[in-house]
Amino acid sequence: MNIAVRYYSRGGNTKKIAEAIAEAVGVEAKTVSEPLSEDVDILFLGSAPYAFDIDDEVKKFISGIHVSVGKVVNFSTSAAVKSTRKYIEKLLAEKQIPIAEEEFSCRGAFAMLHKGRPNESDQKAAAEFARKIIS
């Protein structure tokens, strides 16, 4: 099974979760600035909401997918909004790329909110989630 992990992180929150997922599934976590170069069965894609949307870098990454992707598994961190799924799902539908029902989301620190998140417990939960997805 070919697996990839891509993420966008401004403050490091989503990067922490991406690295936990990548370690759990035995691949390297890479930023969305690195396009997919080969077909993947599962793409773990991480982001966070910014002003009720996702960053343009994530949009650019999705629009630039020119390989076969079996399914995308969304993961996100956020101080307020629970998930980035609705933003990601819309863009993937335009490319006819399926999104998994399962997703992972956790709190991320922002300003005075959720200091210390994602924490070790969040990272362990993300790793366990990823292992279940690939099993």
| CA atoms of 117 and 77, how far apart (whole Å) | 9
Q: Say what the pTM is.
A: 0.93
Q: Which domains does the chain have, with CATH numbers?
A: 3-134 (3.40.50.360)
pLDDT in tens, 40-78: 999 999 999 887 789 999 999 999 999 999 999 999 998
Chain center to CA of 26? 16
pLDDT in tens, 25-44: 999 999 999 999 999 999 99
